[in-house]
Homo-oligomer: A and B are copies of this chain.
Amino acid sequence: MTTRAEATRARLQSAALDLFEQRGYRAVTVEEIAAAAGVSHMTFFRHFPTKERVLLDDPFDPVIAAAVAAQPAGLPAIERVARGLLSLVPLLDQEPTASARRGIAIAAREPELQAGMAANTAATERAIVEAASLPGGEQGMRVAAAACLAAVTTVLFAWALEGTSRTIGALVAEAVTTVVPALADAPVPAFAGATP
């Protein structure tokens, strides 16, 4: 069931993506996005708290957190996070990635939006720590999550910007094994959790 609000939200997102690609993020005003979607600027801000959130909408947190939590608790934090991310690789390659790539490519070109992606990362980091950390081991898990997510973000930018034909999954795997080289040889079982 698609409610009216969901339809408006989708129109806003689509219009924003088009306009950003045509003229750049900075040059497009919220007014223009709203007008292109046939609504007022107030309606824009009821659906997205800031201009940048129309582009950086990341519903993946719970999946990632669950994948990390599913790894053996006895491992060092960094390896646990790395293996959790690796287990998501097959799932990543199934997802529709065209619009995600458009959004990330725009973000990768604008420094202020890269800061916005960092906010996403911080949220994902919190989700991982809450889902997976052992009592007393929070700091280590937080550090490990931050490190791995930063690595993944880096390759996502490269993926969106360069004309790489490789899949997201392959690049994420490369990022993770850059951080934990030992995982390059040891295959990790795919994560069987629910899709978002």
Task: List A residues at the B interface (Cβ < 8 Å).
Answer: 76-78, 111-112, 114-119, 121-122, 125, 139-140, 142-144, 146-151, 153-155, 158, 174-175, 178-181
Task: Check A181–B78 contact: CB distance below 8 A.
Answer: yes
Contact B119 A181 (CB under 8 A): no
Interface of A is mostly: helix
Q: Which of B119, B154, B180 contacts A115 (CB 8 A)?
A: B119
Inter-chain CA distance A151–B77, complex, in Å, is: 12
Sorted nearest first, the 3 A-B pairs with minimum C-beta distance are A118-B118, A150-B150, A115-B115
Q: Assess the B139–A146 pair: CB atoms within 8 A.
A: no
A78 to chain B minimum Cβ distance, whole angstroms, is 6
Chain B residues near A125: list those with CB within 8 A.
Answer: 154
Copies in the complex: 2
Residues of B within 8 A of A115 (CB): 115-116, 118-119
Across the interface, A150 reaches (CB within 8 A) one of B111, B140, B149, namely: B149
Residues of chain B within 8 A (CB-CB) of A144 are 151, 178-179
What are 19 A-to-B residue pairs whose CB atoms are below 8 Å? A76-B178, A76-B181, A78-B178, A78-B179, A111-B119, A112-B119, A114-B118, A118-B121, A125-B154, A142-B154, A143-B154, A143-B178, A143-B179, A144-B151, A146-B150, A146-B154, A147-B147, A147-B151, A150-B150
